[in-house]
Structure 1
Amino acid sequence: MGCAPEREADPMLRGQCHCGSIQFQMPDQAVASSLCHCGDCRKQSGAPMLAWAMVPKAAVSVAGEPKVYNSSQSGRRSFCGSCGTGLFFTNAPLEQMGMMQVRIAALDDLEAVAPKMQVQTAERVKWMASADDLPAFERFPT
C-alpha cells in the first residue's frame, strides 16, 4: 500500500458572477488588496465600500463577455450584463502598470484574499466608522 502522491496547490483562484454567465480565474496571490470607500465605488455598487484585489491583468482569464461601463474619465468597470454583478475595474494608472482590480466578493472562496488596507477613507461614509459598534446577529433577527 503506497502513499498517495501530493497534489500541487492550484495557483489560481476562481470566481463568477451571480448567475454564472461570466467566470474568471486569477492568481492566488494579489499584489494588493483593499476596502475602497470612494464615491465612485459606492455609487456604482450601492454599497458603502467594495473589496478589491489588484492582480496582473495578463494573469486573469475570463470566460463570458462582461459589459464595460466608463465610470470616470479613465475608469472602466466590468460587470455581467445578465445579473448585474460587478467584477473588474481598471483605469489608466493600473493599465500602465499592467494591473487590474478584481472584486474579492466574486471569488468562489471568499476567504482566499483578505483586504490588507482601506483606501479613499477621506470619502468614507461617516457611519461606517462605527459599524463594529452596531448589534450583530448571525442571521436576520426575528
Structure 2
Amino acid sequence: MPGTGGCMTLAPSRSSGLEGGCLCGRCRFTIYRIDEIVECHCLRCRRLSGGAPVTWVCMSRDGISWTRAPSIWLSSTIADRGFCPTCGCMLWMAYRFNSEVAVPLGSLDERGDLASERRIHAQEAE
C-alpha cells in the first residue's frame, strides 16, 4: 500500500480472504491481497457508476479468484471491464498494460475499515 512499502496481505483473521460479488449473486470472488485502494474520477468510471467516482480495490491478477467470472467488455484502449451477464453489475477492471486488476469497494460483502488512499483522474471531475 502506498506509504507502507508494499501490498497488504490480509490479516490472519481474514486468511480466507475478502469475499464479494454482484447484486444477484451469480458472480463471486475472493481477494487474497490488496495493493492499494483508489478513488477514480475518470469519465468512464463516473458514467459506469451513475455519476459518482468509483473506489477501486486494486491487486495483481493472482490476488483474486472467481467462483464464477464476469463477462468481459473491452471498454477502452487501455482497460477491460467485467460485469455480471445476469444483473449487469460492474465487477472488475483490468489494465491491458500491466497485471493490475480492481474490483469496486462496494462489491465486497464486508468492507471493514477499508477506505480510499488516494484520488486518481481528479482533474476530470472538475
Find the residue that maps to 2:102 and give its secondary structure: strand
Q: Does 2:121 match 1:120? A: yes
Q: Does 2:23 match 1:22? A: no
Q: Distance in 1 between matches of 2:119 and 2:29?
A: 25
Match in the other structure for 1:99: 100
Count of aligned pairs: 114
Deviations 1:59-81 (A, max 9, x none): 21111131111111121000101
Deviations 1:5-29 (A, max 9, x none): xxx51231000100000110002x4
Q: Distance in 1 between matches of 2:113 and 2:21?
A: 14
Retained in 2: the 8 A contact 1:30–1:113?
no
Match in the other structure for 2:38: 34
**TM-score normalised to structure 2 length:** 0.83
Overall identity of the aligned pairs, in %: 25
Find the residue that maps to 1:9 and give its secondary structure: helix
Trace 1:60-139 onto structure 2 (pairs within 5 A): 60-93=64-97, 96=98, 98-124=99-125, 126=126
Q: Which has the higher helix share?
A: 1
**TM-score normalised to structure 1 length:** 0.74
Given the superposition, is the C-alpha separation of residues 48 and 114 from structure 1 closer, same or farther in structure 2, using an over 3 Å criterion? same
Specify the code of the residue in structure 2 equivalent to 1:123.
E
Q: Distance in 2 between matches of 1:103 and 1:14?
A: 12
Runs of 4+ in 1 over 3 A off after TM superposition: none
Q: Which has the higher strand share?
A: 2
Retained in 1: the 8 A contact 2:27–2:68?
yes
Find the residue that maps to 2:45 and give its secondary structure: helix
**Where does the alignment leave 5 or more consecutive residues of structure 1 unmatched?**
1-7, 127-142
Offset, 1:32: 1.1
Offset, 1:57: 0.8
**Where does the alignment leave 5 or more consecutive residues of structure 2 unmatched?**
1-11
Larger Rg belongs to: 1
Retained in 1: the 8 A contact 2:80–2:96?
no
RMSD of aligned alpha carbons: 1.5
